[in-house]
């Protein structure tokens, strides 16, 4: 995420001036239409990012965890937020105010360049995920999603997520997501646990997603 690309000195400064908040399971952290008064850094727990539908159902588009940040794009654009955020279990976050962040960023030109690189990489990843979600079989689409969510690098990864959340992210029913998950498990690409999915080999899973 973008906060991780900042200079360590800038990170430390922003943490010093930030406000820490705790949220209960299911508590709304931010709502679509809220002013972009800052961005959030997750210190503990998980946050579901998405939108509430007119019938009150929450449709998730991302599940973030400790170390992730979100809301920076709204700060840069200066426009109201376009997503809702809900705590998944108990969580602890820091709100880094927009004005002090933008003011401090001017003193760290290297961080500005790093942010541009991180934004470009994030956009490329998003386009790749969108392309994968629109093509291929459900197991391949799910493989791409899990490979991305399990982190960078090689080796074993674990994604803490429920089958309903996977279904929301894929835009399919829970039964369809479960069938795709079974297909991946049958191939030895994933191992299902209670509220989690273990990925024995991220690279192998990513190759399967690409066909």
Same domain, 49 and 148: no
Per-residue pLDDT tens listing for the chain (211 residues): 688 888 899 999 999 999 999 999 999 999 999 999 999 999 999 998 888 888 887 877 788 888 899 998 889 888 999 999 999 999 999 999 999 999 998 888 888 888 888 888 777 766 665 665 555 788 888 888 888 777 665 668 888 888 888 888 887 889 999 999 999 999 999 999 888 899 998 888 888 887 6
Q: Label residue 131 left, alpha or beta by phi (over 0 means left) and psi (-120 to 50 means alpha).
A: alpha
In a domain, 144, yes or no: yes
CA distance to 113, 121, 209, per residue, from 135 (Å) = 34, 21, 10
Same domain, 76 and 25: yes
Supply the CATH number for residue 196's domain: 1.10.10.10
| 22: phi then psi, degrees, rounded to nearest 5 | -115, 145
Same domain, 88 and 154: no
Same domain, 96 and 171: no
Please name the residue that has the structure tokens 């299911």.
26
Q: Which domain holds residue 205?
A: 136-209
Closest CA to 64 of 37, 81, 39, 45: 45
Q: What is the 3-state secondary structure (H, E, C) of the chain?
A: CCHHHCCHHHHHHHHHHCEEEEECCCCEEECCCCCCCEEEEEEEEEEEEEEECCCCCEEEEEEECCCCEECHHHHHHCCCCCCEEEEEEEEEEEEEEHHHHHHHHCCCHHHHHHHHHHHHHHHHHHHHHHHHHHCCCHHHHHHHHHHHHCCCCCCCEEEECCHHHHHHHHCCCHHHHHHHHHHHHHCCCCEEECCEEEECCHHHHHHHHCC
Our count of domains for the chain comes to 2
Report the predicted TM-score, pTM, of the whole model to 2 decimal places.
0.71
């Amino acid at each position: 995420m973008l906060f991780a690309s900042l200079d360590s000195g800038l990170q430390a400064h922003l943490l010093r001036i930030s406000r820490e908040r705790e949220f209960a399971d299911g508590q709304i952290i931010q709502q679509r239409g809220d002013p972009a008064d800052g961005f959030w850094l997750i210190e503990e727990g998980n946050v579901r990012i998405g939108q509430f539908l007119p019938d009150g159902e929450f449709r998730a588009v991302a599940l973030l965890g400790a170390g992730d940040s979100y809301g920076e794009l709204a700060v840069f654009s200066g426009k109201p937020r376009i997503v809702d955020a809900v705590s998944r279990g108990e969580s602890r976050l820091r709100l880094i105010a927009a004005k002090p962040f933008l003011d401090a960023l001017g003193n760290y030109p290297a961080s500005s360049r790093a942010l541009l690189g991180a934004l470009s990489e994030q956009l490329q990843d998003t386009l790749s995920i969108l392309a994968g979600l629109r093509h291929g079989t459900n197991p391949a689409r799910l493989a791409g999603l899990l490979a991305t969510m399990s982190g960078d690098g090689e080796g074993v990864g674990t994604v803490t997520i429920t089958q309903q959340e996977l279904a929301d992210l894929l835009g399919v029913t829970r039964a369809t997501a479960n069938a795709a998950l079974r297909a991946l498990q049958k191939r030895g690409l994933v191992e299902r646990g209670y509220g989690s999915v273990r990925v024995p080999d991220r690279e192998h899973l990513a190759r399967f997603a690409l066909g």
